[in-house]
Amino acid sequence: MAPENSTPGNQPQTIALVDDDRNILTSVSIALQAEGFATRVYSDSVAALRALSENPPDLAVLDIKMPQMDGMELLRRLRENSDMPAIFLTSKDEEQDEAAGLAQGADDYIAKPFSQQLLVARIRAILRRSGSSQPGSASSANGDKSAPARLTRGRLAMDPERHMVEWDGRAVNLTVTEFLILEALASRPGIIKSRNQLMDAAYPDDVFVDDRTVDSHIKRMRRKFRAVDPDFLAIETLYGAGYSYTDG
């Protein structure tokens, strides 16, 4: 049987961690190795650029605020030669950093302090979306080849297995968090979901996020859909109650 989080060649998937905080590097590396991943850690972003350019990992977790070269510049340079997935670590409540990071091409972001459980879940989801093989995952290990059903609601199509979204046949690139929120809304069209319900859908129980976080995700989702359809109105707000999805 292939090991957990392995590639087709039976090698564990490699996660690169780049952060100038050595305590974070150590604790996250240990947590990821316990989940079956191989890790490479870098406290120097310049050294990380050289190493990751020569040998890209399956996914990189990059701190935004680092000396010499910040995470966004590091990802920009890495993306010149590689399309590897990336997650940004941001300072809490730095929405401007989050927006800039996503615009730079990050697949998701997580605010510090963060839950290692949340980070592992986001890494797994992004690797699935990017098409990386995980023979040791629970479904294959148990011989269950079934995959989550594709969700279609009017012009919206969602593929939970790869976290891919289309609107009227055109791709919409959502972060994992945005995908989970949209999935919670679209799974029951017309039903109002409170902010707390949407937070439960997107975050583990031990992660605290406030109402503004959900509002920010909804705002960015609408912006992304309107980039492909200026008349997009499928995500509705009921002030004081929450949000709902209306088939478009």
pLDDT in tens, 181-192: 999 999 999 999
d(Cα 141, Cα 121) in Å, to the nearest integer? 18
Phi, psi of 150 (to 5 degrees): -65, 135
What mean pLDDT, rounded, does the chain reach? Answer: 82
pLDDT digits (tens, 9 = 90+) for 64-84: 889 889 898 999 898 888 888
Spatial contact of 70 and 38, defined as CB atoms under 8 Å apart: no
d(Cα 108, Cα 110) in Å, to the nearest integer? 7
User: What pLDDT score was predicted for residue 97?
Assistant: 58
Name the helix (H) or strand (E) containing 129. Answer: helix 116-130
Which of 182, 207, 203 has its CA nearest to residue 193? 182
Average the pLDDT over 40-65 and give the result: 94
d(Cα 36, Cα 13) in Å, to the nearest integer? 8
Percent of the chain with pLDDT over 70: 79
pLDDT digits (tens, 9 = 90+) for 153-179: 999 999 987 778 999 999 998 888 889
User: What pLDDT score was predicted for residue 98?
Assistant: 58
User: What pLDDT score was predicted for residue 100?
Assistant: 60
Average the pLDDT over 203-219 and give the result: 71
Domains annotated on the chain, with CATH: 14-138 (3.40.50.2300), 151-245 (1.10.10.10)
Tell me: pLDDT of 207 over 60: no
Tell me: pLDDT of 135 over 60: no
User: What pLDDT score was predicted for residue 82?
Assistant: 80
User: What pLDDT score was predicted for residue 194?
Assistant: 92
Tell me: pLDDT of 86 over 70: yes
Phi, psi of 60 (to 5 degrees): -120, 140
> What size, in residues, is the chain?
248
Q: Hey, CA dihedral for 171, 17, 217, 152, is it positive or negative? A: positive
Tell me: pLDDT of 113 over 90: no
Of 9-13, 114-118, 157-161, the least confident: 9-13
